[in-house]
Amino acid sequence: MTNPPPPPRQLTNLPRQTHLRLYSPEGKLLQKWDVPAHTHRLTLDMSAYSSGIYWMELSTGDKVRREKIVKVNHP
What domains are there in the chain, each with its CATH number? Answer: 9-71 (2.60.40.10)
* Span 23-35, pLDDT tens digits: 998 999 999 999 8
pLDDT at residue 65 is higher than 80: yes
Q: In whole angstroms, give the CA distance from residue 14 to residue 37.
A: 6
DSSP output for the chain = --PPPPPPEEEEEE-S-EEEEEE-TTS-EEEEEEEPTTEEEEEE--TTSPSEEEEEEEEETTEEEEEEEEE----
Q: What is the mean pLDDT of residues 69-75?
A: 85
* Span 9-55, pLDDT tens digits: 555 556 678 899 999 989 999 999 998 888 777 788 888 899 999 99
